[in-house]
Structure 1
Amino acid sequence: MSSELIEIFVFAGIAGFLIFKLYTVLGQKTGFERPKESAPVQPEPVEKKPQSSFAEDPERLLNASLKKLVKSIKRKDNRFNLNEFLKGATQAFEMILEAFSRADTMTLKKLLGAELYGEFETTIEERKSHQETLETILVKIESVRLVEGHMQGNVARVTVEFQTEQTHVVRDKAGEIIEGSPKQIEQLVDLWTFERNLTQSNPNWILIKTAT
């Protein structure tokens, strides 16, 4: 075998050895490699507040008497918008239910008329005297609509119907349930009457009456 052929075999062997070593180094993971991204962790579902839908033009759904009432309100206050009013009334509904459940009289005093506030306060004080607590959960708001109202001078009084699903639980001082169940959903229809002097700068409506 010629010396040239021997040199070719030697170089080929060296080249093969170097390729093998290069593979063993580059083919292994190093401490500087980015780890494979794990599948994203799905966040726990967040309980959302109950939502209610409002017609784009709720005035279109009113009867002739209520349409006349809305026009009368607008003559006194051209900023009045029935859709926005119903949204505000729904927010007030949620806030008052929560405040009553938590015995938050400071919040209630801002949202209720004096006479109705007195009734709420009496019920809350009675509940406290028995060392009972109320838990009210507003599960769902089915519908919100204007059903009645009238003008008396500059004062408007309007009644809003809330069709909702709620749970009510009363617990004693030991935390034991004495009334209701957190698993029992009640379908309720509440009629709340709001009042406002339309000539005043304060845009807030006050709840003066509740009925079922």
Structure 2
Amino acid sequence: MIYLIGGGVHCGKTSVAEKVTKTLGVSCLHIASLEAIILMLYTSPEQAREYFPKSWMRGPKHSNDALFGQHAPEEVTRALITQSRSMWNAIEIFIETETKMGRDVVVEDYHIHPEFVACCQEHFGMNAVRAVFLIRKDLEKIVSYMQQFPRKGDWLIERGPTNITNVAKMIVLFSEFIEREAEKYEMMCIRTDSDEYYKKIEEACHVLTKS
């Protein structure tokens, strides 16, 4: 079985992935790790600008300050969508390798879009793929959540409210994109900006692991 988890940043994808891998005892690919290898070893600066614009926008110091301080949320969102699509072939090869070895696998990150899931369903079979998308659309709740529950070493909190708001706007824009695509491909989105965050995480896990 192939378990795909997509959605916006700070929407709970990693939490769902960790719970599912623990429940099922399967491995998990966090796409950002694969992406970092491709960028570091096999991508020229010219290619990065075209295919990995989000990483290119971070500059030579890989700075989130450069990403969110110098670029509007709309621009960052477009860059995330382009960068996601640039990873699809690599992700599909990874999944195919795992399935040929008879292994179930969880794959998570913002790179997973409904269109990619539809391609996987066509390639591997409808019954071989389960997917869920986590989104947040309430700007004020996103800002409040990031302020109250910063990730370990989260650079946002040190940079003040402007950067937090810009990131939150990007999350809303990206979530709206995912929601439109999910409706187009008839796939499930779960909003995690409600007051029942942990209940929504459990709901997403159930969607993936139910018999």
Range class of TM-score, shorter chain:
under 0.3
- If asked which structure has higher relative contact order (CA below 8 Å, sep 6+), I would say 2
Structure with bigger helix share is 2
